[in-house]
Structure 1
């Protein structure tokens, strides 16, 4: 007989809970945005939010200061309550806070969180350190070090968040700014965010056309009377700019192409969809989770409907663009430019391969391991091996894939063959598109996939050239005023025109290579990128001297 006075209780190890939630904030941009968004959202009436962010890579420190409504002592107690209910949402005001885990964000990348807040003339300052969290035995709450409490001040309302002892090698200011700009694109009020003196501005890519889609039938019942806006950019978009931004009541939750990622011409597509029903969804399988992945839960029925709607309409637009691109490639001018692009790319990739081999030699000597050539440094399949799908020129060599696997029967066979066409590299005029069959990296952290050059009309207001870092495609803008001026009489064989576009492509390659190294923290001194670009330009100019004749 069980004694009714005995109870089995659910308990939580607070320290472990906090650090596990902190681990969800894996990057500096996620951490910064967590505290920036608090400053933008929680403000007094008629106040236009202003948030200032200071990034200090040398001191391993981030400071986020806002003019929000601040927190009194009760507000600070709620701030440090794990999984606490958001006060604004409780009062019926929509917003971001759902899981009450934001206070742990700093410990995803750092060891110290200090919060100073002023509310109605009273200032409080508190501090929490990782060592104190790790030393906690899990029983009861974790003490927060109180530096000041309700100190009378004449300062206006607001909060300062200081994050110190950051473990990252460097803070990625450009990525943080781009992430903030994407997040505030549809913020429901006039906001200002300044990062190291640079004002974050919402700059939507220039679109050459726009489509409006509305759901019908069962999708209309699930999604409501919403409007999907699909736009086509004049220029190829970086990976973080592509896709349909999915909002709910002005809060961004995901950016997706609905299954069209990495498909031909998808790099030109962006847009938005606001689904208020997402914020109100109470399904047993939730649409959101606390992972901060900026991905909706694909197992949720409403999310499945959103993805189906976006995927179908994006694919319609994408197929239209593919047909137009096929027609363009068939023209004589396009074929001539493609040949020039191949010549430029050949010089660039010869330099790039030598660069990889030089890096391999230096790194192997530094680590006391045998020297490896660039070919040996590759991982995965040979970079010449392609599979169908992607944006690399390819040709079909077998309509139904390679040989199948053999086995002993009874489900003990090898991996079945692919039923997709088998492809090999093609020239720039190829209508078929592929992607690398294996990985694109090596053990030294430098991706080994080669560069490709394409000529595109991107508009006179766009840059001379643009390199997509994820696919390593260098696009040269034929509409740029300088390039137009060099093309006398609309003659693409004009020597001045050919020399200029070659120089433009070489310059973009040098910048792209330096950018990749900088993103991995390879540069120490602030002058290193400029030196690297100058050396790269000198190398490719010597190697490609024949293209200037």
Structure 2
């Protein structure tokens, strides 16, 4: 009788694993993190080089490198991580990293030096698709253990990238998101040094599980919860969940849709996740940066975070109501509305001019690449000729005049394992509490608000999701403008108008640039100058 056993089609196995890496930033971080983790130098250094014309990405590190024998382990799908097997913690669990390149490209080349010997190997999509890939996929050996006078390290070349455009900014943001947890590491993307600059916190709390109902599942775990002085960019929001120093998710545990959640950030170190042997893994092989809610430890972590984040938001909402009730706040609100009226009047005129341009272009063809009434319908809203703002590649368009879509609670998003249903506290409690009414964006146009955002932050901040211009009352220039006469001082009012106008001009041009409206690099500069000229004329009476 023939023995029955499980087999695998190696080529399909590689491609299925690579399909988990859909974006360039995921692929690059996979190889950058290897260069940071597998080291023999005190200070790991990684360089990422992007060649958009050649459609290639190169990652070079000063790690410990690999011998030719080590390459056998590197190209073993789902093999046991060597460091983890010897008791050294790290992010490697499923051995899928070597397939990452084929999520976006057709060729992977690995050049590695260890102990004065260099080996170079190459794997292509053509090899993965070959008939013999059902049992094995041959890796082309270009050189093996060639003696060289070079330090240890590895170079990964991802070639023939299939993406229409390599998003350098997304790569930088992904690396900087993680680099906070690698304090001794240095990473360059081309000539940009990736650095994590932590937002300025107005308040900080440390909450322990000790003495709570979470202590049995999460003994001696501490949540560091911080309140930012200014609203945070989306990639800075949330609590970073780490285990033995490795980041696994950044989450607000059900509070994502709450208006004031944009001020919340922090961290929680949960060593129990890395040591979990429950049979239901806290992690999956997708590098999705989402923990598995079916795991009991993960469920407890999310409940603990959700309960404390919700409490922090409740306190912020109370403080916000008190702030808006003050006399100065009422005066600032009136001033903000006046500024917004001028900005929205300008925006309406600008929109009408744009409609005229589009209407005049009907029936003609543009000889250059770029937006046109026929060539790129993504820039036009169905039923309207006004420029629309593309939120991302997959989300479609939303009319700049219409309400923005409300944030979708994470419960509607497919995730590894079922959503955690806490009992009386935690994530479910946070999700079930309705979002603050202030989270509903008023219909149409731009809004202006004054906030105390700390002297370390910029004069103003533009929130593109709600098209709100926030003026920082703590900025030294604005503080000086209202030093003598307070918020009634004409100098302060003029300064406020100037700051808001500048932020609006830059924000409007940035949104146009995001959808590819500009072709010449100088066009945004000209547009900003024209917008500021229009607004300064509209507000000339302030300077009489």
Structure-1 separation of matches of 2:295 and 2:94: 18
> For residue 413 of structure 2, what is the aligned residue in structure 1?
none
**1:162 and 2:157 correspond:** yes
How far did residue 450 of structure 1 move? 4.2
Of 75-84 and 512-521, more deviation after overlay is shown by 512-521
Could you say what secondary structure the match of 1:105 adopts? helix
1:67: how far off? 0.5
SS in 2 for 1:111: strand
Higher mean C-alpha deviation, range 208-217 or range 481-490: 481-490
Corresponding position of 1:12: 8
| 1:333-352 per-position Cα deviation (integer Å, ceiling 9, x unaligned) | 11121122223334434555
Please give the alpha-carbon distance, in whole angstroms, between the structure 1 residues aligned to 2:236 and 2:481: 31
Corresponding residue of 1:84: 79
Aligned position for 1:35: 31
Counterparts in 2 of 1:513 and 1:162: CA distance versus 1, 3 Å: farther
Residue equivalent to 2:60: 65
Relative to structure 1, the CA distance from residue 108 to residue 141 in structure 2 (aligned partners, 3 Å threshold; closer, same or farther) is: same
What is the aligned partner in structure 2 of residue 373 from structure 1?
384
Give the gaps of 5 or more residues in structure 1: 391-418, 424-430, 438-447
Q: Which residue of 1 aligns with 2:146?
A: 151
- TM-aligned CA distance change 1:454 to 1:136, over 3 Å: farther
What is the alpha-carbon root mean square deviation over aligned residues? Answer: 3.2
Q: Does 1:197 align with 2:191?
A: yes
- The equivalent of 2:269 in structure 1 is 274
Cα 1:355–1:169 shift into 2, 3 Å? farther
Instruction: State the SS of the aligned residue for 1:82.
Output: coil
Alpha-carbon distance in structure 2 between the residues aligned to 1:387 and 1:67: 45
CA deviation vs aligned residue, 1:167-222 (integer Å, no higher than 9, x gap):
334333333223222212122x6211122222222311111111110113431111
User: How far is the alpha carbon of 1:112 from its aligned partner?
Assistant: 2.1
CA distance in 1, matches of 2:28, 2:401: 39
Q: Retained in 2: the 8 A contact 1:169–1:521? A: no
Alignment CA distance shift 1:137-1:335 (3 Å): farther
Show the 5 A alignment for 1:122-137.
122-136=117-131
Q: Secondary structure at 2:506's aligned position in 1? A: helix
Worse overlay, 472-481 or 365-374: 365-374
Asked whether the 8 Å contact 2:381–2:387 carries over to 1, the reply is: no
Is structure 2 residue 438 aligned with structure 1 residue 433? yes
**Among candidates 207, 212, 218, match of residue 206 of structure 2:** 212
Structure 1 residues 278 and 489: alpha-carbon distance in aligned structure 2, compared to 1, 3 A threshold: same
Q: Is residue 255 from structure 1 mapped to residue 250 from structure 2 by the alignment?
A: yes
Map 1:472-491 onto structure 2 (within 5 A).
472-491=467-486
SS for the counterpart of 2:134 is coil
| 2: CA distance, partners of 1:309 / 1:226 | 10
Contact 1:172–1:519 (8 Å) recurs in 2: no
Partner-residue secondary structure (3-state), 1:62 = strand
* Aligned counterpart, 2:21: 25
Q: 2:177 aligns to what?
A: 182
Aligned partner of 2:315 in structure 1 is 320
Q: Indicate conservation of the 8 Å contact 1:386/1:436, yes or no.
A: no
* 1:141-160 deviation digits (Å, cap 9, x = unpaired): 11222221111101110011
**Contact persistence 2:441–2:466 (CA under 8 A):** no
CA distance in 1, matches of 2:289, 2:350: 36
CA deviation string 1:92-121 (max 9, x = no partner): 100001111111212222222211100111
Partner-residue secondary structure (3-state), 2:305:
helix
How far residue 522 of structure 1 moved from its aligned partner, in angstroms, is 5.1
Q: 1:471 to 1:60 in 2, by over 3 A?
A: farther
What's the offset of the Cα at 1:470?
Answer: 3.3
Matched, 1:106 2:117: no
Deviates more, 1:52-61 or 1:29-38: 52-61
Question: 5+ unaligned residues in a row in structure 2: which ranges?
Answer: 360-370, 389-396, 410-431
Secondary structure of the corresponding residue to residue 336 of structure 2: helix
What are the superposed Cα offsets for residues 79-101 of structure 1, whole Å, 9 maximum, x if unpaired? 11111111100111000011111
The verdict on how the C-alpha distance between 1:336 and 1:163 changes in structure 2, with shifts beyond 3 A counting, is same
Partner of 1:426: none
Q: How far has the Cα of 1:228 moved from its partner? A: 0.4
Q: Which moved more, 1:347-356 or 1:237-246?
A: 347-356
Would you say the 8 A contact 1:238–1:469 is kept in 2?
no
Distance 1:296 1:420 in 2: 23
2:402 pairs with one of 372, 380, 383: 383
Conserved? CA contact 2:111–2:118, under 8 Å:
yes
Name the SS of the counterpart of 1:202 in structure 2. coil
Deviates more, 1:521-530 or 1:280-289: 521-530
Task: Provide the secondary structure at the position in 1 that maps to 2:217.
Answer: helix
CA distance in 2, matches of 1:364, 1:434: 34
Q: 1:370 to 1:78 in 2, by over 3 A?
A: closer
Return the TM-score normalized by structure 1.
0.82
The farther-off stretch of 199-208 and 152-161 is: 199-208
Question: Relative CO higher for 1 or 2, CA cutoff 8 Å, sep ≥ 6?
Answer: 2
Aligned to 2:137: 142
2:418 alignment partner in structure 1? none
**How far 1:164 moved relative to its partner?**
2.1
**Against the structure 1 CA distance between its residues 148 and 490, is the aligned structure 2 distance closer, same or farther, given a 3 Å change threshold?**
farther
Q: 1:528 to 1:298 in 2, by over 3 A?
A: farther
**Residues 380/460 of structure 1: CA separation in 2 closer, same or farther (3 Å cut):** closer
